[in-house]
């Protein structure tokens, strides 16, 4: 394998980005796989993300043995030693202002996306390229794929956005209108600032050169001036605006073949966007995969690498391997023991889905398949543990796979209310079923909505999938009843006979992960005087609150 480190890619504004090129030793024209991001093209996976590395090694000890020495393994980037021998060129790019690429660091920005476009076009005309470029990578590197594909680079031939958000507001930063602050607070210093170009205090060392991975050190004040303050931009924006629009991919403009890979346990970043990206993109040739496990293990395991190679072999080198005949939607149907069985189907939602209403009864705290004739109400602490509604033990096995919606009638003692909706499963002994998520242990599914953001876009909403405008704040009149349609993220689980379906409605993040990555506890976004009162849920009679579940026959 030929390794060319710190190869400059010229940009149209006179600047340049630095990339590493990994290519076969034999001269020729090869398909290109490109990854573009902010985590440092020269930071080894183990050095930058040691806890995740240990988890990956436990699941896949061969990751740095046998076919790969692991020397060039990077976080959320394909392993060159597993791709180049099969006749691919890998190009790993430090985005502007990160790693070895100088310039102004502006995360997810239109300029950064334009840079990606120009990097694709550069790779498409190199002497070692066959003119077809595919995109690969997880999370940030997947989000950038959605963004740049909407610009339609001529040399872009296919893409695999693996667990990456699309909508900067709804998928990533303000779930249901509620600020998701904890991830950004930790992520910004640990993964962004440490990799900023010119950061002489970085702890990351290039294993090949023994130098720091961020180039020549710059003064601290200059470093501050060389970056946009991403957390501050988020904190000052409560509604959907032009900034969020500029940072969100225009899905209808995407026409390139794509394989969108979602993680059922990826609430907050690694789930919703991949389903919306699949459904909303303009591509005629597109596939949706949904898998289990952590997001990094699923990307690197041989089974998943083989799928990625088969997809790229067809679209980047024209290999007739039967890929176009693969069913468009392939889902890991989860079981309560943590395993899954693959289902291949033609569309999403799954054709033939039976949308089943489970009515909330606040008098008995139950879920019922029949409407509740008697009015009821229950009051709870709007910043507390809330209330749980359970079905009776299921008389037979039932699979729920699809989108979920909670219709809720509520009032608040104050002028606003944050609803945290948690879909749950309990075994016959009353023990809750949990799952390994993208980063942490998760329940069946989660959803969120700020009551003042209840306004729906009726053209984009579906009965099973409400779409909120988030373009104005409609404050509540205390103690007046309001109707909410709450999106709960897509999910899949086979409930065995005797298990119970449950929905918890609460006023804070679910306590499985008190130190979790995706939390919503910023005191400035959720001041106690406005969000800390008493909330009331109304059920039965004229207020038929219900949970809409996707039953698969």
Q: Does residue 124 carry a pLDDT above 80? A: yes
Q: Assess contact for 199 and 223: CB atoms under 8 A.
A: yes
Write the pLDDT tens digit of every residue in 69-79: 999 999 999 99
The pLDDT of residue 318 is above 70: yes
Q: In total, how many domains does the chain have?
A: 2
Structural domain boundaries, residue 156: 2-319
Asked if residue 443 and residue 399 are part of one domain, the reply reads yes
In this predicted structure, the answer to whether residue 282 has a pLDDT above a threshold of 60 is yes
- pLDDT of 62 reads 93
**Confidence label for 67 from pLDDT (cuts 50, 70 and 90):** confident
Among residues 272, 299, 319, the one where a domain terminates is 319
User: Does pLDDT of 514 surpass 70?
Assistant: no
**What pLDDT, on the 0 to 100 scale, is given for residue 493?**
98
Give residue 370's pLDDT.
Answer: 96
301, 428: one domain: no
Burial class of residue 56 in the structure, from the number of CB atoms within 10 Å of its CB (0-12 exposed, 13-18 middle, 19+ buried): buried
235 and 125 part of one domain: yes
User: Do 365 and 313 belong to one domain?
Assistant: no
Question: In which residue are the tokens 């606003």 written?
Answer: 416
Q: How far is the CA of 360 from the CAs of 296, 408, 433, 481, 542, in angstroms?
A: 38, 9, 21, 16, 13
Helix, strand, coil in percent for the chain, rounding step 5: 25, 30, 45
Contact between 43 and 71 (Cβ < 8 Å): no
Residue 375, φ and ψ in degrees, nearest 5: -60, 145
CB-based contacts of 93: which residues, under 8 Å, 6+ apart? 9, 17, 18, 19, 34, 35, 36, 37, 41, 101, 116, 119
Q: What is the pLDDT averaged over residues 275-283?
A: 98
Q: Hey, how many other C-beta atoms are within 10 angstroms of the C-beta on 219?
A: 10
pLDDT at residue 465, as a whole number: 98
Task: Output the pLDDT for position 268.
Answer: 80
Contacts of 12 (CB under 8 A, 6+ apart): 114, 118
In a domain, 336, yes or no: no
Dist. CA 284–CA 299, nearest whole Å: 24
Domain-located, residue 334: no
Q: What is the pTM of this model?
A: 0.96
Evaluate the omega torsion of the peptide bond into residue 349 and state whether it is cis, within 30 degrees of 0.
Answer: yes
Kind and range of the H or E element at 537?
strand 534-539
Together in a domain, 300 and 375? no
User: What pLDDT score was predicted for residue 88?
Assistant: 98
What would the pLDDT profile of 400-424 be if each residue is shown by its tens digit?
999 999 999 999 999 999 999 999 9
Question: Do 307 and 359 reside in the same domain of the chain?
Answer: no
Q: Is residue 9 within 8 Å of residue 118, measured between CB atoms? A: yes
Residue 525 lies in a domain: yes
- Coil, strand, or helix at residue 234? helix
Residue 339 lies in a domain: no
Task: Please tell me the distance from the alpha carbon of residue 462 to that of residue 280, in angstroms, as a whole number.
Answer: 13
Q: Which pLDDT band holds residue 56 (cuts at 50, 70, 90)?
A: very high
The C-alpha atoms of residue 234 and residue 132 are separated, in whole angstroms, by: 36
Q: Among 301, 319, 337, where does a domain finish?
A: 319
On whether residue 348 sits in a domain, the answer given is no
The enclosing H or E element of 179 equals strand 178-179
Structure token digits, residue 486 = 């709450």
Residues 415 and 521 grouped into a single domain = yes
Looking at the structure, tell me whether residues 218 and 79 fall in a common domain.
yes
Q: 340 in a domain, yes or no?
A: no
| Residue 134 pLDDT greater than 90, yes or no | yes
Q: What is the CA radius of gyration of the chain?
A: 24
Same domain membership, residue 372 and residue 291: no
Model pLDDT, residue 324: 98
Q: What span, in angstroms and rounded, lies between the C-alpha atoms of 250 and 255?
A: 11
Tell whether 251 and 378 lie within a shared domain. no
Q: Is the pLDDT of residue 314 over 70?
A: yes
Cα 144 to Cα 137: distance, rounded to the nearest angstrom: 9
Residue 208 has pLDDT above 80, yes or no: yes
Residue 202: is its pLDDT beyond 80?
yes
Does some domain include residue 69? yes
In a shared domain, residues 168 and 222 = yes
Q: Is residue 548 part of a domain?
A: yes
Structure tokens at 463: 């009965």
- Looking at 319, 337, 371, which one is the last position of a domain? 319
Q: What is the dihedral of CA 206, 210, 213, 219, to 10 degrees?
A: 160
Backbone angles phi, psi at 101, to 5 degrees: -95, 115
Tokens of 388: 């749980």
For residue 426, the domain's CATH number is 2.60.120.260
State the pLDDT confidence band at 515, using cuts at 50, 70 and 90: low
Mean pLDDT of 525-540: 96
**pLDDT tens track for 438-452:** 888 899 999 999 999
Helix residue ranges, H only, 2-136: 45-48, 50-59, 80-83, 110-124
**Shared domain check, 305 and 414:** no
The answer to whether residue 186 scores a pLDDT higher than 70 is: yes
Is pLDDT of 369 > 90?
yes
How many alpha carbons lie under 13 Å from residue 213 in its C-beta half-sphere? 29
CATH number at residue 188: 3.40.50.1820
pLDDT reported for residue 512? 65
Pair of tokens at residue 166? 């699309």
CA distance linking residue 73 with residue 52, whole number of Å: 13
Tell me which of 58-62, 92-96, 197-201 is least confident: 58-62
* Rounded-to-integer distance, Cα 361 and Cα 485, Å: 17
pLDDT at 267: 79
**What pairing do the DSSP bridges indicate for beta strands 30-37 and 129-138?**
parallel
């Amino acid at each position: 394998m030929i390794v060319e480190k710190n190869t400059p890619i010229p940009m149209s504004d006179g600047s340049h980005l630095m990339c590493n090129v990994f290519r076969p030793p034999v001269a020729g024209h090869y398909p290109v796989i490109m990854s573009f991001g902010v985590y440092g093209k020269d930071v080894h996976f183990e050095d930058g993300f040691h806890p995740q590395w240990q988890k990956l090694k436990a699941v896949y000890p061969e990751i740095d043995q046998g076919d790969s020495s692991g020397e060039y393994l990077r976080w959320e980037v394909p392993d060159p030693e597993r791709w180049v021998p099969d006749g691919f060129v890998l190009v790993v790019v430090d985005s502007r202002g990160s790693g070895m690429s100088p310039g102004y660091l502006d995360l997810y920005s239109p300029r950064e996306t334009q840079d990606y476009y120009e990097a694709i076009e550069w790779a498409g005309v190199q002497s070692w390229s066959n003119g077809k470029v595919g995109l690969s990578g997880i999370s940030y590197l997947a989000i950038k794929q959605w963004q740049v594909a909407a610009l339609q680079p001529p040399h872009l031939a296919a893409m695999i956005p693996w667990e990456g958000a699309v909508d900067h507001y709804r998928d990533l930063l303000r779930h249901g209108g509620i600020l998701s602050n904890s991830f950004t607070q930790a992520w910004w210093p640990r993964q962004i600032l440490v990799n900023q170009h010119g950061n002489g205090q970085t702890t990351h060392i290039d294993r090949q050169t023994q130098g720091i991975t961020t180039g020549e050190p710059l003064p601290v004040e200059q470093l501050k001036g060389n970056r946009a303050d991403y957390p501050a931009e988020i904190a000052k924006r409560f509604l959907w605006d032009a900034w969020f629009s500029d940072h969100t991919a225009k899905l209808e403009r995407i026409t390139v073949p794509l394989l969108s890979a979602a993680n059922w346990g990826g609430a907050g970043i690694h789930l919703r966007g991949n389903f919306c990206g699949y459904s909303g993109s303009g591509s005629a040739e597109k596939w949706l995969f949904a898998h289990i496990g952590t997001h990094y293990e699923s990307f690197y395991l041989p089974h998943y690498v083989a799928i990625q190679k088969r997809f790229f072999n067809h679209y980047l080198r024209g290999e007739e391997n039967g890929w176009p005949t693969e069913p468009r939607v392939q889902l890991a149907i989860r079981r309560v023991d943590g395993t899954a069985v693959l289902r291949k189907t033609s569309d999403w939602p799954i054709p033939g889905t039976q949308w089943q209403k489970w009515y909330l009864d606040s008098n008995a705290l139950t879920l019922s398949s029949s409407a509740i004739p008697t009015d009821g109400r229950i009051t709870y602490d709007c910043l507390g543990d809330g209330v749980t509604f359970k079905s009776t033990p299921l008389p037979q096995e039932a699979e729920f796979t699809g989108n979920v919606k909670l219709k809720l009638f509520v009032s608040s003692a104050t002028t606003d209310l944050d609803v945290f909706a948690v879909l749950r499963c309990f075994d016959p002994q009353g023990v809750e079923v949990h799952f390994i998520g993208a980063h942490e242990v998760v329940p069946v599914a989660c959803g969120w909505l700020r009551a003042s953001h209840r306004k729906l876009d009726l053209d984009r909403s579906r009965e099973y999938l409400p779409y909120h405008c988030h373009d104005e704040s409609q404050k509540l009149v205390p103690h007046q009843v309001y109707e909410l349609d709450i999106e709960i993220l897509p999910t899949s689980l086979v409930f065995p006979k005797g298990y119970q379906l449950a929905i918890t409605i609460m006023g804070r993040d679910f306590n499985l992960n008190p130190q979790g990555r995706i939390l919503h506890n910023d005191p400035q976004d959720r001041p106690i005087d406005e969000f800390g009162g008493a909330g009331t849920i109304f059920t039965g009679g004229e207020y038929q609150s219900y949970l809409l579940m996707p039953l698969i026959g």
